[in-house]
Amino acid sequence: MKLIPAIDILDGKCVRLTKGDYTTQKVYNTNPVEVAKEFEANGIRFLHLVDLDGAKSKHIVNYKVLENIAQATSLQIDFGGGIKSNEDVKIAFESGANQLTGGSIAVQEPALFLSWLEQYGPERILLGADANQRMIATHGWLATSGIDVVDFIRSFEQKGIQSVVCTDISKDGMLQGPSLDLYKEIMQETGVQLIASGGVSSIDDLQQLKELGCSGAIIGKAIYEGRITLNELSKLC
């Protein structure tokens, strides 16, 4: 299972939110590149980079942060937030992203999202399935659709998606454990490679996700709050 620390960018700073609420932002570092380099120094190979400004603005904003991290490290970067156009995709890949995760765009303009999947392939285009009470959320989690998360994932699997980043918003930033029952259901109902996101609070949580069969786990606040140390993660890499 891939261990994937997250860096969420707001106003160019490394922050964390609780349940996606922008009013709960807590700044952990004003230099995201320093954070990324520390991850790499501890044996981490993957990074989930989220452009929170972009998610709200509906276009990529923090591509310079992406570019700086890509130039300063050899981390494999999955980038998301504000990717809404062909130009956004081009900018993100040219700035150093290895993969892109599209969520809102897959809901609002599925044909456009699927054109990226066809052009770049399922290894580089991931589906973002962010759910609140099982319903897919969009626009930086500020809006909720009426689409069930399992149905959503299944429909895109049928169209060629292989990897899905799934966040249970009710768990995000709460440090109360991941949504194991939901992930188990997704694994039973689909054949996607599931990257779990939200709620990871301990090494034990990571072990449970691994035993469940998840292909990856995104770790955010647990690292920044010292619940999981980089030394502990390095031993699992």
Task: Tokens 């299944």: give the residue.
Answer: 154
pLDDT in tens, 115-129: 999 999 999 999 999
From the number of C-beta atoms within 10 Å of its C-beta (0-12, 13-18, 19+), residue 211 rates as exposed
Active site residue 204: no
Q: What per-residue confidence (pLDDT) applies to 140?
A: 62
Percent of the chain whose pLDDT exceeds 70: 98
Pairwise CA distance, residues 108 & 122, whole Å: 19
pTM: 0.95
pLDDT in tens, 15-29: 999 988 899 999 999
What residues pair up with 10 in beta bridges, in sequence order?
A: 13
CB 22 within 8 A of CB 56: yes
Pairwise CA distance, residues 181 & 214, whole Å: 12
**Among the options 130, 168, 172, 205, which is catalytic?**
130
Active site residue 130: yes
- CA-based nearest residue to 65, from 33, 39, 93: 33
pLDDT in tens, 79-117: 999 999 999 999 999 999 999 999 999 999 999 999 999
Question: Who contacts 150 (Cβ-Cβ below 8 Å, separation ≥6)?
Answer: 134, 185, 186, 189, 190
Q: What per-residue confidence (pLDDT) applies to 91?
A: 98
Q: Which CATH number fits domain 2-236: 3.20.20.70, 3.40.50.1000, 3.40.50.720, 3.40.1790.10?
A: 3.20.20.70
Pairwise CA distance, residues 108 & 45, whole Å: 32
Q: Among 163-177, 186-200, 203-217, where is mean pLDDT lowest?
A: 163-177
Q: Domain-by-domain residue ranges, the chain?
A: 2-236
